[in-house]
């Protein structure tokens, strides 16, 4: 089931009260249209009835796609600093719903639990599954980019996110976690991921990235002890 409810909030531009149908959980096996809308980057967008400007309501939902082996807890980008306690909640929620703590008929062997903050991070996980990319290797590739680049965008609010996948290349975009601002793009060879996935030199970083469902470079960049 994909659960929807109506939510009232203030327009981020003019403050006028707005209402939108918000989804609390997406079942992509039953509602492939919702998965498509996330991939197309058009989900939960609206236009203010008072000022006419576009806005997007942050995601706060659980996503299930048994066919592609995905379970994702998605939280608003503004909650990133709480990633450590949120990860513990995600692990517990997954265990209750589909893991060892779930009734036998609800347990799903092939599901991978993940945690994402904001639309670009959520969409990135769907892109990985859609194109058969190892999301851990993708995070290692970002780490490699950051270690080798000389002129990185320095704004703390910027994140490097996979934005497009072609036959031989991956496009990554420096973007605002909570918004649509795209600052800079770079292209990587897709084969880079296979190399990183099997390179023993990257094994320690790989172990750190996979210590919990929050498989994201931010777990190395955003201090967990800030989260309380
Ligand atoms: Zn407005």
Distance 73 CA to ligand 1 centre (A): 29
Using a pLDDT cut of 90, give the percent of the chain over it: 68
The predicted-structure confidence for 143-175, as pLDDT tens digits, reads as follows 999 888 777 666 777 899 999 999 999 999 998
Report the pLDDT value the prediction gives residue 147, as an integer from 0 to 100.
85
Distance 56 CA to ligand 1 centre (A): 12
Distance 50 CA to ligand 1 centre (A): 5
Q: Which residues are found with C-beta within 5 Å of the ion, ligand 1?
A: 11, 13-14, 16, 48, 50-51
Q: % helix / strand / coil in the chain, to the nearest 5?
A: 35, 30, 35
Mean pLDDT for 206-212 is 95
Distance 125 CA to ligand 1 centre (A): 31
Domain layout of the chain by residue ranges: 58-226
Burial class for 83, CB neighbours closer than 10 Å (0-12, 13-18, 19+)? buried
- Distance, CA of 228 to CA of 214 (rounded, Å): 17
């Amino acid at each position: 089931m994909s659960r929807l409810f109506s939510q009232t909030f203030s327009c981020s531009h003019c403050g006028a009260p707005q209402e939108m149908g918000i989804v609390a959980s997406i079942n992509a096996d039953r509602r492939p249209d919702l998965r498509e809308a996330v991939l197309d980057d058009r989900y939960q967008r609206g236009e203010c009835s008072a000022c006419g400007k576009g806005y997007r309501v942050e995601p706060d939902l659980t996503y299930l796609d048994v066919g592609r082996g995905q379970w994702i807890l998605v939280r608003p980008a503004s909650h990133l600093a709480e990633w450590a306690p949120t990860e513990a909640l995600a692990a517990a929620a997954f265990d209750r719903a589909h893991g060892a703590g779930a009734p036998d008929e609800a347990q799903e062997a092939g599901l991978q639990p993940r945690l994402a903050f904001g639309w670009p991070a959520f969409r990135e996980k769907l892109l990985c599954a859609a194109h058969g990319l190892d999301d851990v290797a993708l995070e290692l590739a970002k780490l490699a980019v950051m270690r080798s680049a000389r002129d990185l965008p320095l704004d703390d609010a910027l994140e490097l996110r996979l934005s497009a996948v072609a036959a031989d290349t991956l496009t990554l975009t420096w973007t605002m976690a909570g918004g649509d601002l795209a600052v800079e793009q770079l292209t990587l060879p897709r084969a880079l991921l296979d190399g990183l996935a099997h390179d023993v030199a990257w094994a320690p970083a790989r172990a750190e990235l996979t210590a919990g469902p929050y498989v994201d470079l931010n777990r190395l960049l955003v201090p967990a002890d800030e989260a309380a």
